[in-house]
Structure 1
Amino acid sequence: MNIWGAALTLFVSTYMGEASLPGVAVAITKGDQVVAVQGFGHDSAGAPITENSKMAIASVSKSFTALAVRQLADAGKIDLDRPVFDSRVTPRQLLSHTSGISDRTLPEKSLPQPDSPEGAVERAREVLRSAVPDGQFRYTNTNYHLAARLVELASGEKFNSYLRSHVFEPLGMRDTVAIDVTPRDLPSDYRRGFGYAYGFSVPLTEPDRFVAGSDGVITTAADMAKWLAAQQKLAPQDRMGWEADSQGRLRHNGIWFTSTAGQVLTPSGYGIAVMSNSGIGLGNEGTHALENGIADIVDGKTPAEPSSYRLMIDLVLAGLTLLSLALGVRALRRPRRLDKAWQVLRFVPLGVLLALPTLLGLLYGGGRDITFYQLAHYSLPLVVWLGVSSAMNASVAVVRWVR
Structure 2
Amino acid sequence: MTRLFLVLAVLLLATAPPAAAAPAMDLDGYVRSHLDHTGLPGAAVAVTHNGDIVRVAGYGHDATGAPITASTRLPIASLSKSMTAFAVLRLGIGLDEPVTRYLPEFRLADPRGARITVRMLLDQTSGMADSTFPDLKLAQPHSLAEAVARLRDAPLADEPGARFHYHNPNYEVAARIVEVVAGRPFAEYLRTQVFGPLGMTGSTSVDAPPAGTEGYVRAFGIEVPVSEPDGFTGGSHGVLSTAADMAKWLSAQRDGGGVVSPASAALAHTPAPGRDYALGWRVQDGKTSHTGDWFSHTAAQVLLPGGYGIAVLANTGMALDNEAELLAQGLASLLEGGSPEPAPPAGVLADRVLAALALVAVGLAAIGVRRARKRRWWRIVPPLLPLVPLVFLPQLLGWVFAGRQGTYTQVLYVWPGLVVALGVVALAGLTVAAARTRVLVSGTRGRDQEESDPTRGDAQWASANRRSGS
Report the AA paired with residue 93 of structure 1.
M
Q: CA deviation at 1:330?
A: 3.2
Deviation string, structure 1 residues 283-335 (Cα, Å, up to 9, x no partner) = x3343332222123233x11432212343322222222222223223323432
Distance 2:27 2:333 in 1: 10
Corresponding position of 2:41: 22
Take 1:233 and 1:319, find their aligned partners in 2: how far apart are those partners? 52
Aligned counterpart in structure 2 of residue 163 of structure 1, from 190, 198, 207: 190
Which residue in the other structure is 2:316 paired with? 278
Query: Structure 1: how far apart are the matches of 2:24 and 2:414?
Result: 33
User: Relative CO higher for 1 or 2, CA cutoff 8 Å, sep ≥ 6?
Assistant: 1
Partner residue of 2:223 out of 174, 179, 201:
201
TM-score, normalising length from structure 2? 0.78
In structure 1, the residue corresponding to 2:115 is in which secondary structure? Answer: coil
Q: How does 1:3-402 map to 2 (within 5 A)?
A: 7-72=26-91, 74=92, 76=93, 79-84=95-100, 85-86=106-107, 87-127=114-154, 132-182=159-209, 185=210, 192-234=214-256, 235=262, 236-239=266-269, 240-246=279-285, 248-282=286-320, 284-299=321-336, 301-308=337-344, 309-337=346-374, 339-363=376-400, 365-402=401-438
In 2, Cα distance between equivalents of 1:361 and 1:218: 27
Report the Cα distance in structure 1 between the residues aligned to 2:339 and 2:157, rounded to whole angstroms.
Answer: 47
Q: Are the counterparts in 1 of residues 120 and 161 from structure 2 also a CA contact under 8 Å?
A: no
- Post-superposition offset of 1:105: 0.8
Provide Cα deviations, 1:332-352, integer angstroms capped at 9, x if missing partner.
343222532342222211111
1: distance between equivalents of 2:199 and 2:393?
Answer: 44
1:33 deviates by: 1.8
Distance in 2, matches of 1:174 and 1:5, equals 31
String of CA shifts for 1:177-209, please: whole Å, max 9, x gaps: 111012xx35x7xx5211111221121111221
Question: Matched residue of 2:214: which SS?
Answer: coil
Residue 396 of structure 1 deviates from its aligned partner by 2.2
The CA distance in 2 between the partners of 1:201 and 1:41, in whole Å, is 13
Label 1:286 to 1:370 Cα distance change in 2 as closer, same or farther (>3 A): farther
Structure 1 residues 253-285: Cα deviation after superposition (integer angstroms, max 9, x where no partner)? 111111111111111111111111111123x33
Change (3 A) 1:4 1:314: farther
CA gap of 1:94–1:399, structure 2 versus 1, over 3 A, is same
**Paired amino acid for 1:371:** T
Gaps of 5+ in 1: none
Cα offset for 1:129? 7.2
User: Match of 2:447?
Assistant: none
- Cα 1:126/1:4, change in 2 over 3 Å: farther
Check the 8 A contact 2:25/2:335 in 1, yes or no: no
Listed one character per residue, the Cα deviations across residues 344-388 of structure 1 (whole Å, up to 9, x for unaligned) are 22221111111111111212x222112111111112121111112
Q: What RMSD, in angstroms, separates the aligned Cα atoms of the two structures?
A: 2.1
Query: Which is worse superposed, 57-66 or 131-140?
Result: 131-140
In the alignment, the residues of structure 1 paired with residue 147 and residue 421 of structure 2 have an alpha-carbon distance, to the nearest angstrom, of 36
Query: Displacement of 1:171 after TM fit?
Result: 1.3
How many Å apart are 1:149 and its aligned residue? 1.3
- Give the distance between the partners of 2:417 and 2:156, measured in 1 at CA: 41
Compared CA separation, residues 129 and 287, structure 1 to 2 (3 A): closer
Q: Which amino acid aligns with 1:321?
A: A
- CA distance in 1 between counterparts of 2:89 and 2:126 reads 17
Contact 1:57 1:218 in 2 (8 A): yes
With over 3 angstroms needed to count, the CA separation of the structure-2 counterparts of 1:298 and 1:346, relative to structure 1, is same
User: Which segment is superposed worse, 260-269 or 313-322?
Assistant: 313-322
Distance (whole Å) between structure 2 residues aligned to residue 147 and residue 194 of structure 1: 30
TM-aligned CA distance change 1:161 to 1:336, over 3 Å? farther
SS in 2 for 1:161: helix
User: Comparing 263-272 with 215-224, which one deviates more in the overlay?
Assistant: 263-272
| Deviation of 1:4 (Å) | 6.6
How far residue 401 of structure 1 moved from its aligned partner, in angstroms, is 2.4
Larger Rg: 2
* TM-score (structure 1 length as normaliser): 0.91
Q: Aligned residues: percent identity?
A: 40
C-alpha contact (below 8 Å) 1:41/1:48 kept by paired residues: yes
3-state DSSP class of the match of 2:56? Answer: strand
Q: Match for residue 272 of structure 2?
A: none
Task: Tell me the amino acid that sits aligned with residue 171 of structure 1.
Answer: L
8 Å CA contact 1:19–1:310 kept in 2: the answer is no
